[in-house]
Structure 1
Amino acid sequence: MPYENLNISTPNPVLSWANHDLGHDEMKMARNVASLPFVFKHVALMPDVHLGKGALVGSVIATKEAIIPAAVGVDIGCGMAAVKTPFKSTQLEGKLKKIRLDLEAAIPVGFNENKEIEKAVTNWQGWRDFKNLHPGVRDLEGKALRQMGSLGGGNHFLEVCLDAEDQVWLMLHSGSRGIGNVMAQCHINTAKDLARLSDTSLPDPDLAYFVSNSSAFDAYWHDLQWAQDYAHFNRDVMLARFKKIIEKHLAGGKPTRALLEVNCHHNYAEKEMHYGEEVYVTRKGAVRAREEDYGIIPGSMGAKSYIVKGKGNAESYCSCSHGAGRLMSRNKAKNQFTLDDLIAQTAGVECRKDEAIIDEIPGAYKPIEQVMSNQADLVEVVATLKQVVCVKG
């Protein structure tokens, strides 16, 4: 779908790949961000765009000489990982429930932590820099160690999927856990304090920012990169355990070679070149999609998911959507849907089917097929996946 320029009267235009009009609150949020003086060129909205905190989820914000910590958000480095295995669907027959139970036993979900810390975790290079992180998180090293290799809650998940050729894929969604959350809150509070002290006029307090070459900016940027690395390695640790469980059930425990591996953030910021200039790019619920970049765009449980390759679309700052995007809030989903609805909408998927996860019902999300058709100019589809096992956070 060709992008359209939303009729927002701000110095910087807003380009949207969504096929729906933004609501009043969404328009206000887009206008607030686009009116900031350090925003570069324009703001890009992905087809799964919806309300967030400060900035819309599904927005790509390029900035010069400033960064907004609340736009990155509290789940720093949240993203996806996937592995294409050499196994076929027939090898899964009769084993789905056992695989799900093994996954639930091996990978902590929700607020749970690992009881034992494996060698790969203690050997992670990032621990060397822990003493240089924000003072507000320095007492969390033990917790961060125990949470490395854990899923978290909400919309985080583990899935066994099949592609159109009946090939088995492993997929997961997770981020920087408790440490990333506390770290983000510390820096967001600092940005808000600085805005108050300097009497900076902001359209929304959650758009408080750090100016580059300041000590506050440098401290945030340092911690941001650390948390993004933590999130990436957290997914690697879980994926290794996930792969071992599948190999136990499908290969008698023998190690196998992955046919393709993808690990990508969708809540993060990086320094990149766009339109010939170096800028800070914040992707709040968006995936980098330069030419040949592999990305993962999951649907809700019970819906399709996609492995994609980027097309390097300049207007989107080489980005694409990070999923289907919520259609309704968690509370609205709980009020609107029943357990029977959940059971019907997750038919054929080996997963928990209880009232605690009604807020993650497929009906609470936008149709993923529509989201994909809106971004045909941003990505090409490499594989279409359908889950057969799902473990929710």
Structure 2
Amino acid sequence: MGTADVEAVWRIESARIVAALTRFTGDFELAEDAAQEAVAEALVSWPLASPANPAGWLMATARRRAIDAIRRRTALQDRYALLAVDSAVDSAIDEEIDPDKIDDDVLALMFVSCHPVLSSEARVALTLRVVGGLSSEEIARAFLVPVPTVQARITRGKKTIAAAGVPFELPPAAERRERLGGVLSVIYVIFTEGSTATSGDRLLRPDVAYEAIRLARTLAALQPDEPEVHGLLALCELTAARFPARTGPDGSPVLLDEQDRRRWDFSAIRRGLAALAKASTRGLGPYGLQAAIAATHASAPSVEATDWDRIVVLYEALGRVAPSPVVELNRAVAVAMASGPAQALAIVDELIASDRLPGSHLIPTVRGELLARLGRRPEARAELELAARLCANQRERSVLLRKAATLS
């Protein structure tokens, strides 16, 4: 077994291993460090002798590393307490066959990684590391930050959890739904970075987006009765379904009205619609409403044949349950398609007057498009050039500049 095999097993089993170790040692940081040491040992050992049970090998090795670490820092008079820990951890392998306990452990690991005491950056890094099984290098590449920055976020996050005394347990039922929103938010942040990169020379980072989808599927399996979990999964699947048509052979963006819809991933659309049906059982929340918008696009044969009136209504509903300037901006785009650019321009100008998206390239992008449709070409060009200056993604910037050039 080579490096790729180790990485594949780790990606699948990491959450279960770290969760089981955390439950039995009571130390999140120790568990994660021990698991990483087991992976490092596997990279050396497995090419020489492949284990019959790779996941069990990783778990047993990580367990030994955790016990060694406890022994090193335990005073002689505390060795009896260590024996109890040793015995409890030894039982982890036996309890791994209990699927319900595994589910609880992995779910608890998600809640710990996304705990409110952590910064948003630390939540993302820890979730990708301990739940997703990504290395610091992979996380750094995904978010275009230096590896030491990622490592520092992970280290600070683990120390913050320890200092705050965050227990490794599922939150009480009364808190769980509220805390679940934070978990969903972290997964969605990861997905949005993959679906439209905030910076760099690539429009899409599919590997990041698909990792978020994997996390969403895991969460949906662990929380099957939570509609918004299925709503997020539906939104991610339906959005990712368009990935094959969103870029050309050279990586340049292909706008919605120019996409070859035959290239859309119809398997992902079917999965998304199935998840949306589960999300609809008790009324749609914010993620479910966004998924319903994505489903309306997915079912339309063209931009012109899209049910824009329905999309406007869905954005209005979304604005009531989860108001934000981005929702209003997207509503303006839908209004432009349903009722014309003049009405949409009024919505955008209200956003500008209230200064609700300062420094964002999104408002001048939409305003430039609306002005162009109204025949106000010099103003439109100025807006699109402003949007290009504000945009950090090179691919998006090139599209904006190309549009501006056509308005000369």
TM-score, normalized by length of structure 1? 0.26
The structure that is strand-richer by fraction is: 1
Structure index of larger Rg: 2
The structure that is helix-richer by fraction is: 2
TM-score, normalized by length of structure 2? 0.26
